[in-house]
Amino acid sequence: MAYDAGIDTPAAPGGEGVRRRDFINIAAVSAAGAGGAAVLYPLISQMAPSADVLAQGTAEVDISAVQPGQAIKAVFRKQPLFIRNLTAVEIEEANKVDVGSLRDPQTLKERTKEGHENWLITMGVCTHLGCVPSGAATGEVKGEFGGYFCPCHGSHYDTAARIRKGPAPKNLQVPEYKFTSDTVVTIG
Ligand code: FES
């Protein structure tokens, strides 16, 4: 099963087939998560954060290679972190939502940094019971709203990583971060 990372992927209807696929997806997420961390390691290592920075639990990530429609996974304070470069269409999708209708009302602007609204940086931890949602890697299911999908109990997040459907009570958490430059972010 292959999905284009830049294309919204509708959720499959319920039934046995979904449950089987979810198991497959969980396995894929685990493998991709490990791969993402491995890929990011050289970038973080290359930045060589000083000992005092490490002590504060911050991490610098080079995002220069992440193209629109792509995302990378990192590990921050022992938890998965998603860094996503939104396409113009994904930004438009997020901005046209009636915020008042949301379970956890937030605009995309409130969830990103001024001048960097295309960079959606969130923890990769479902706010229901803590599973790792899919959608950050090429081929992963993004759910009915084109953002992230948690296969554990079926939570769907949109292109601003806001909860739109399923049991999760809150949007994916946006950690503290800042842009050190246009291509480097400091998380934490
Ligand atoms: S942990 Fe994500 S939906 Fe339950």
Please state, in angstroms and as integers, the Cα–Cα distance from residue 46 to each residue in 36, 49, 66, following that order. 16, 9, 17
Pick the closest to residue 121 from 174, 56, 61 (CA basis).
174
Q: Which residues contact 166 (CB under 8 A, 6 or more apart)?
A: 128, 150, 153, 154, 155, 156
Domain residue extents for the chain: 16-187
Q: Which residues contact 54 (CB under 8 A, 6 or more apart)?
A: none
Q: Which residue has the least CA distance to atom 1 on ligand 1?
A: 129
pLDDT in tens, 41-50: 444 434 444 5
pLDDT value for 57: 81
- Find out whether 71 and 85 touch, Cβ atoms under 8 Å: yes
Span 16-187: which CATH code? 2.102.10.10
Mutation pick for ligand 1 pocket among 29, 131, 144, 149 (CB with most ligand atoms within 8 Å): 131
Reduced to 3 states (helix: H, G, I; strand: E, B; else coil), residue 10 is: coil
Give the Å distance between the CA of 99 and the centre of ligand 1. Answer: 22
pTM: 0.72
Q: Is the CB of 131 under 6 A from ligand 1?
A: yes
Mean pLDDT across the chain = 80
Please spell the DSSP secondary structure of 122-151, one letter per residue.
EES--TTT----B-SSTT---TTTEEEEET
Tokens 């950050």 map to which residue? Answer: 136
Q: Is the dihedral of CA 13, 33, 63, 2 positive or negative?
A: negative
pLDDT value for 164: 98
Q: Is 153 a catalytic residue?
A: yes
Please state, in angstroms and as integers, the Cα–Cα distance from residue 101 to each residue in 18, 28, 98, 104, 164, following that order. 28, 32, 6, 9, 9
Give the Å distance between the CA of 134 and the centre of ligand 1. Answer: 11
Q: Is the CB of 168 under 6 A from ligand 1?
A: yes
pLDDT in tens, 66-82: 999 999 999 999 999 99
